[in-house]
Structures are given as C-alpha cells and as structure tokens.
Structure 1
Amino acid sequence: MADIDQIKIVALGPDDAIAGLALSAEAHWNQNEADWRYFLSKGTVFGVRDKGGRLIATAALLPYSSGNAWISMVLVTESWRRRGLATKLVDTCLDTATKLGLTAWLDATSAGAAVYGPLGFSPTIQLRRLRLEPGSTSAGAAPLPSGHLTEFITCDISAMGFDRRDLLRELEGRPGSRLVSSGDAMALIRDGRTARHIGPLFADSPVRALAMVGDIAALETGPLLIDAVANQDAFLKGLTQMGWTIERPFQRMRFGRATNPPAELPFAVAGPEYG
C-alpha cells in the first residue's frame, strides 16, 4: 500500500475536466462536464494522481462572496479509498480557505459528516435528496412562464446570506436550463449527468412550492432530482406523496466564523456541489 504521506497534491486545470467527470461518474454522482469546467475555471480544484498519471482523487474550493466558499467534489476512486486521501484533500481546501479568510461550507453525506466533524465543521441545516422516475406524474401541462434572473438572485441572497449571482447566471445560461416562475414561486431546472435537477426553489408557501414541482414534473420526460430542505416538513411530505422517493440525506456544515444567517430558507437548494 502506498504511503499517502508521500502523495503529492496538485492544483488541477481545465484539461482535467474529463478525468474529474470519470471520478464523479464512478461514484454515481449527477455532475456533468459543465459542472467540472465551472469548478476548474472559477474555483481551485486539488487532485492526486497515481504513478501512471491517472487522476485518483479530488476536492474543490469554490469562492463565493462576503468571505464564503464551498467545498465539494471530494472524490476518491474505489481502489484508493479508506487511506485518508479525502481527509488530506479537504485539509488542503481548509488551509487555503483559512489563508484567504474564508468561511468554508459543504453538504456532507452521512459518512462524510462523520469525517468532517472532527476536522472542526459544525452542522447547520439538513437536506434530503429525492428522485422522481419518468411516468410518476401525468404529462401535458402548459409551459411555465420564464422567471426573472434578477429576482431569483435576490431570493437566493436572502436564502444563503451571501451573493452567488455569478453561479446562478452560469447555471441559468447553460443549454437545457430553464428558470421558471408561477408568480409566487420560482425554480431553476438544469441538466445533470443522469437526471435533470430542480433547484434552487423559492416560494411563498409549501403549497405553492409543491404546485411548482408538480408543474415542472408534468413537463419533463426523464428522471428528476431535487435536494429539499429537511426543515420544510410539509414540502418534504408532499413530495413523497407525489411519488418522489428519498435517496439520501445531506448535512450542511460550516467551518469558520458564522456569517449572515439566511433570512428565509428555500424549499430546495442548488445541489450539494454548489450549496
């Protein structure tokens, strides 16, 4: 077994997008090539290669505004797991964040939360990833009106406590993405590697949030994913009654000083890779 103390951690570049995608596909994650290219161009992605030059592990630090950053894409190929590579890469992200004066956030799986807690991360909100398969709802609904990106960004700032307008502009502008509105609810739908993703989703009430999800599902023909805020009990219960199934929980965690608390929680988030 190789001594990971001798492993060299390097900063990755745009040419590593396909290798990164292979890692996330191996883990059955939903990120696509566009996601990897965004992280590699807007954030700092650390990686480890084996002796043959193959990318075997990654972790990314994506800066936002007001001294905040997101850690994600923490991946290790199967044959190299349980050797401490993920911890070393997250430590590298944390060291970088600390030097830059950034509060670091991440959305952890149950296994990941057990690792990140001892590193100094504190739990905040919980999320639930749900999936809807094709045919789980009736199709044929009228197209939803387009939403206004400026208003959507304002809602996101209120929900996050900091500004992510560059990310939202990127996601909304991708081929296949749709920002939709029903007047008192707004949501972003975008492509993933295996399923379309709904989120962030903002609404005035659980009823309107559920109606928005139902309208979206009626217009989509493939599988859908949504990362719902667990505190939104009525919304989460309504999704399961509509045929959505819970795949896994995520625990949102913070490392560093507390920042501006969210004024109002969303009903669904942009995804564990983005927060």
Structure 2
Amino acid sequence: MGGTDQPAIVQLAPEDARAGLVLSGESHWNQNEADWRFFLRMAMVLGIRDGDARLIATAALLPYSPADAWISMVLVTASRRRRGLATRLLAACLDRAAKLGLTAWLDATPAGAAVYGPLGFFPALELRRLRGAGAAKGPRLGSDGNLDEMIARDRHAMGFDRSALLRELGGRSGSRVISQGRAMAMVRDGRTARHIGPLYADDAGSAAALIETVAQSESGPILLDVVNERRQFLEHLAGAGWTVERPFQRMRFGRATTVNAELPFAVAGPEYG
C-alpha cells in the first residue's frame, strides 16, 4: 500500500450511500440504498476514490459477534478492475478483522473464490442463486411470522446472533416475515428484484410450499440464494421454473468458530451471509 501513485483507502460515511449504490448497479447486484445505509451505519466500509473524488471501489467488514464478521460489498467500477484495488481493500478488511480477533466470512463468486483461496480462505457451504417470477395471483402477503422466532432459528443455524440485521431487514416497509407451519422466510425489497431469505423449514417439501405461497403473491422477479446441499429443495424449485443465475462459495478466513446446527434452505444473501 506504500506507493505514492496508489489512491488512498478511506473510511466511508452515510452520505456515500448513493455512490455505493451506483457501484451495485454497475455490477448488476441487487443491493438497494437501504442495504448501503445499513452497512455504512453498522460496518466498517472502506473505499477508494479517483482524482475527481468519485467512488471507484469499496469493501465492507460487518461484525456479527465478538468472534465473527462478514466481508462484502467488494465492488470496483468497470474501468478500474484488475488493478489490485479490490485486493487492497480486502487486505485492509482482513487486517482490521485480525486486530479485533474476528474470523472473516464471505460469499464469493467463482471469480472471487479463485482469488480468495490463495489468500488463505477456506471453502465452506456452496450456494446457488436462483431467479423466479411472481405469479401475482393474489395480494402481497402481510407479515404473519414471528421475527423473534426467526432470530432464534437463525442464531441456532449460524452459531452467532444476527438480531440487529434481521430486525433491520424485517423493519423495512417492503419486508415481510412469512410462516407456513414450521417453515418461515424473510421477504424484502432489492434494487431490481424481491429477495427471499433466510428461509428455515423442517423439510424440503414445506420449504418449497412456502416459496410457492410467496411467489403466488408477488408480481415481479424474485431472487433466492439456496444452500446447495439442499438438493431436494433445488429439484423442487427447478421443476417450478426457477433458474440458476450464479453459484457462490462461502469461505472462511481464520479459525472455525461455529458449527451449523441447522442448515438453512436459503440464506439472507451474499452481502449478509
């Protein structure tokens, strides 16, 4: 990081939300302004600006517990890619995590995983991002699920508490916590599509039935980040017309601090884990 020709890494502030959203749009990611504002309030978000003070690269470290944090929002504007900006920002996030004694996690695209592996990240879960379309056969569902129950199941699955995240997501105007028997999911707005996740259920059939119920009440595109080990659930979705948009590889940097006591059927999203 020492060369004088390298632009400085700076910590971003809430007023940078719109600039971050521009990078999300350029990279065709689904984060919306509310996501950016959450990160800028709750995480360490680092950025690099060009000579005109335009934000050209970002990365965030979001602590979830005294032992674990999530790295995400690793974005670089198209004209500045392959110049080491993302690697510099990632290194800064890892340095901060090390100083705080945090194990760092992330959900990587295949291209990202090829970079992160040699840096010392270990693979964990595999994910599949699926895209579907709402059938709009009824009004949008209202919240009928218990957010506290979702928080408890999420804590059991992740091994650490994400109540601040789930209360934030669940409190947005377009968000719903939908339950059907023992199956429950968060449904929220994204930049270009609605997003379902996390999703917890006792079996693949009840998880698929809940997804069908949600899709019947939605009118536009829907994204779902499914845990690849949930093969029967994936088969249900494929049969219902959902298509795989891209894979993700969950990766860990540092010692293992948790064990998945319950695998979700779908996760909160690659930005959040």
Class of the TM-score when normalised by the shorter of the 2 chains: over 0.9
* Superposition map of 1:24-173 within 5 A: 24-134=24-134, 137=135, 139-140=137-138, 143=141, 146-173=144-171
Q: 1:145/1:45 Cα in 2 relative to 1: closer, same or farther (>3 Å)?
A: closer
Residue 260 of structure 2 corresponds to 262
**Residue type at the aligned position of 2:129:** R
Q: Which amino acid aligns with 2:52?
A: G
1:140 Cα offset (Å): 3.3
Residue pairs, 1:124-273, within 5 angstroms: 124-134=124-134, 137=135, 139-140=137-138, 143=141, 146-273=144-271
Pairs aligned (count)? 271
SS at match of 1:6: coil
Aligned AA (1:111)? A
CA separation in 2, counterparts of 1:185 and 1:195?
22
Offset of residue 159 of structure 1: 1.2
Distance 2:257 2:251 in 1: 13
Instruction: Compute the displacement of 1:142 (Å).
Output: 9.1
Between the aligned residues of both structures, percent identity stands at 64
Shift of residue 141 of structure 1?
A: 7.9
C-alpha contact (below 8 Å) 1:66/1:163 kept by paired residues? no
Q: Secondary structure of 2:260's partner?
A: coil
CA positional deviation for 1:262:
1.1
Question: CA–CA distance in 2 between the matches of 1:13 and 1:128?
Answer: 32
The Cα offsets for residues 68-116 of structure 1, whole Å up to 9 and x where unpaired, read as 0000000000000011111110000000000000000000000000000
TM-score normalised to structure 1 length: 0.96
Distance 2:250 2:141 in 1: 33
Equivalent AA in structure 2 for residue 53 of structure 1 = A
Q: Residue by residue, what CA displacement relative to the aligned partner does 1:186-230 show, whole Å, maximum 9, x if unpaired?
A: 000000000000000000100000000000000001110000000
Q: Which amino acid aligns with 1:20?
A: G
* Contact residue 57 and residue 75 of structure 2 kept, 8 A: yes
Deviations 1:30-68 (A, max 9, x none): 000000000000000000000010000000000001410
* Unmatched 5+ stretches in structure 2: none
Deviation sequence 1:221-250 (CA, Å, 0-9, x none): 111000000000000111111110000000
Secondary structure of the corresponding residue to residue 166 of structure 1: helix
2 CA distance for matches of 1:215 and 1:271?
Answer: 20
Is the 1:203–1:267 contact (alpha carbons within 8 Å) kept by the matching residues of 2?
Answer: yes
SS at match of 2:237: helix
| Structure 1 unaligned residues grouped into runs of 5+ | none
Please report how far the alpha carbon of residue 133 of structure 1 lies from its aligned counterpart in structure 2 after TM superposition.
2.5
SS in 2 for 1:156: helix
Say whether the 8 Å CA contact 1:66–1:162 is kept in structure 2.
no
2:199 and 2:207 in contact (8 A); partners too? yes
**Alpha-carbon deviations, 1:157-199, whole Å to 9, x = none?**
1111111000000000001100011121000000000000000
